[in-house]
Amino acid sequence: MALFITEECINCDLCAEECPNEAITMGAEIYEINADKCTECVGHYEEPSCVGVCPVECIEVNPKRKETVAQLTEKFARLQA
């Protein structure tokens, strides 16, 4: 499952720096996560690094983008190719 950033985002800039896949960018008003690049840090870390640094806990699992660990691993491999 890819992650997404809720409206509670305070634009602290911490999450974008942490993302190993460069999936987080500034949107029109708040940061956004590109679901095609988000692997929830599978292949890099045991837990999503952006979630760990978010001071307002506004990064959640995207219910519209359900992916298994195997699918996230495949996405990681594609992104690294």
Domain ranges (residues) in the chain:
3-80
CATH number given to 3-80: 3.30.70.20
Q: Which residues pair with 32 in a beta bridge?
A: 25
Query: What is the predicted pLDDT for the residue at 38?
Result: 95
Token representation of residue 67: 């992916």
Q: Which residue has the higher pLDDT, 2 or 75?
A: 75
Whether pTM exceeds 0.85: yes
Query: What is the predicted pLDDT for the residue at 66?
Result: 87
Buried b (16+ CB within 10 A) or exposed e, 39-61: bbbbbeeeebbbbeebeeebbee
pLDDT tens for residues 14-72?
A: 999 999 999 999 999 999 999 999 999 999 999 999 999 999 999 999 888 889 999 99
